[in-house]
Amino acid sequence: MLAGPDANDVKCDLTINSPPSLTRENVQNMMFYEKQVETKTVFEGMIVNVRRDVAQLQNGNKAEREVVEHPGGVGIVAVTNDNKVLMVRQYRYPMEEELLEIPAGKLDNEEDPFECAKRELSEETGYTAAKYVDLGAIYPSPGFCRETLYLYLALDLQKGEMHLDENELLSVEHMDIDELIDQIVANELKDAKSIVGIMKAKKYLENQSV
């Protein structure tokens, strides 16, 4: 069995030349990792790049991995002074349907996530916020995509003018957060970042009211 939980010890023991016997008992206590041994970029796009890698596994085998490189993005749960959540409705071409989502966008040129959140909220809704709460980061699809999405709660809003990109078509809706929770439970609101952001915001606001 592996001696101790230290990651360096694990890597020392688990080599291709001398793979361990992975029993149910020692798997429960190990720290999992995979090591990149080969990489090749097979697609370069406007937003994403795609790599095809070969990874060394802990059991001594090698496996192919396809990885989508994404710059990352933000999502903002913006709550008005009358406790309405700003949601945007837009058509999502990959899913071939119209979706209801929190305001969101990708990071531009290694942009700071907080600055990106302020920019996207203003662009998509016209609102600015006097207070932001960091709701943490999520990995939307870690099985194949390196995207990290940063979530924020925006409060003390002030209305301004929207300034959308030329081909950005959307509408802004003001919705009660409990109605959104009901839509999540009923599987009517399907966007992952919106689900996580709304649930985190709901918990934060409940804790603040205690």
Which residues are tagged catalytic? 166
Burial of residue 141, with CB atoms counted within 10 A of its CB: 0-12 exposed, 13-18 middle, 19 or more buried: exposed
Report whether 14 contacts 22 (CB < 8 A): no
Task: Kindly give the residue spans of alpha helices, DSSP state H, lying in 126-209.
Answer: 177-185, 192-209
List CB contacts of 202: < 8 A, sequence separation 6 or more.
177, 181
Strand partners, 87: 173
Half-sphere exposure of 191 (CA within 13 A, CB side): 22
Count of residues for the chain? 210
d(C-alpha 138, C-alpha 160), whole Å: 29
